């Protein structure tokens, strides 16, 4: 639904949107684009939303929280608890860099940031089984924070297995999966055209598609999400 077709009553609000997590089936599937778009959308309608990145590896140049902040034109839109230079899983990167990375401090820091914002959005790192710290993984963090989850996945061939396993892993840990976003959806193959319906049937979750976005500027992610995703994509409070 495009912006000009929405009314104030159909826009998200702090009262009706829960804190939530955005996780991916793998690295590079579009978690940051979706996080940026949703946080920017909330802030555009007056909600004090904030993205929370538990740990950023490959920094610099990678900086997911910085991307969100740039899109929203304020540092208040995002925070990163730990930045590490090696482009590896956080636990591995910390070991290589000689950094003492504590799971407890990451978990408590995320909880603190969620409590401080009207709506907090935790962005995952890679997939669910990525080692985070102290023998804990990304899935442990999401479960411990007790927030509903949006899953971002690829649209093409192979996504059924990866996505269904991700949803199953979350549900086995007691996490509520609010929906699935098939990113960079073009519908040019039979697999792409059939995947959304099959995923909905396999998982019982709503499935939305997001076409490739130009992303010449980080703010394009906000415009793209507002144009192509419904307000139903926001987990309800």
Residues tagged in the binding site annotation for Mg(2+): 32, 64, 123
Q: What is the pLDDT of residue 191?
A: 98
Please tell me whether the peptide bond between 61 and the residue prior to it is cis, using omega within 30 degrees of 0: yes
- CA dist 180 and 24 (Å) reads 10
User: pLDDT for 106-146, tens place per residue?
Assistant: 999 999 999 999 999 999 999 999 999 999 999 999 999 99
DSSP E strand boundaries for the chain: 20-24, 49-53, 78-80, 119-123, 131-133, 136-137, 149-154, 177-183, 207-210
For residues 149 and 38, the answer to whether their CB atoms sit within 8 Å is: no
Mean pLDDT by 10 residues, the chain (237 residues): 54 95 97 98 98 98 98 98 98 98 98 98 98 98 98 97 98 98 98 98 98 98 97 95
pTM as predicted: 0.95
236 in active site: no
Give the count of beta carbons closer than 10 Å to the beta carbon of residue 235.
Answer: 22
Q: Residues annotated in the binding site for substrate, as ranges?
A: 57
Per DSSP, the three-state class of 192 is: helix
From the annotation, which residues make up the binding site? 28-33, 57, 64, 123-126, 183-184, 211-213
86 touches 57 (CB < 8 A): yes
Domain 15-233: which topology? Rossmann fold (3.40.50)
pLDDT of residue 10: 81
- Tell me which of 53, 83, 107, 226 is the catalytic residue: 53
Q: Where are the domains of the chain?
A: 15-233
Rounded distance between C-alpha atoms, residue 196 and residue 75, angstroms:
35
């Amino acid at each position: 639904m495009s912006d000009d077709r929405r009314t104030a009553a159909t826009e998200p609000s702090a009262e009706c949107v829960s804190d939530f997590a955005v996780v991916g089936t793998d690295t590079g599937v579009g978690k940051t684009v979706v996080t940026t778009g949703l946080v920017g959308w909330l802030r555009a309608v007056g909600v004090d939303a904030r993205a929370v990145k538990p740990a950023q590896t490959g920094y610099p140049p990678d900086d997911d929280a910085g991307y969100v902040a740039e899109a929203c034109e304020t540092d208040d839109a995002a925070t990163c608890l730990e930045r590490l230079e090696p482009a590896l899983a956080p636990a591995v990167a910390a070991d290589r860099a000689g950094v003492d990375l504590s799971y407890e401090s990451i978990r408590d820091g995320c909880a603190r940031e969620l409590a401080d914002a009207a709506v907090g959005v935790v962005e995952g790192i890679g997939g669910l089984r990525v080692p985070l710290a102290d023998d804990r993984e990304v899935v442990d963090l999401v479960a411990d924070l007790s927030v509903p989850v949006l899953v971002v996945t690829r649209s093409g061939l192979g996504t059924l297995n990866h996505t269904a396993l991700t949803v199953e892993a979350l549900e086995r840990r007691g996490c509520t999966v609010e929906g699935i976003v098939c990113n960079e959806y073009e519908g040019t193959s039979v697999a792409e055209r059939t995947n959304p319906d099959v995923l909905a049937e396999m998982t019982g979750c709503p499935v939305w598609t997001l076409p490739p976005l130009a992303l010449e500027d980080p703010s394009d992610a906000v415009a793209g999400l507002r144009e192509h995703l419904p307000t139903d994509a926001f987990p309800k409070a």
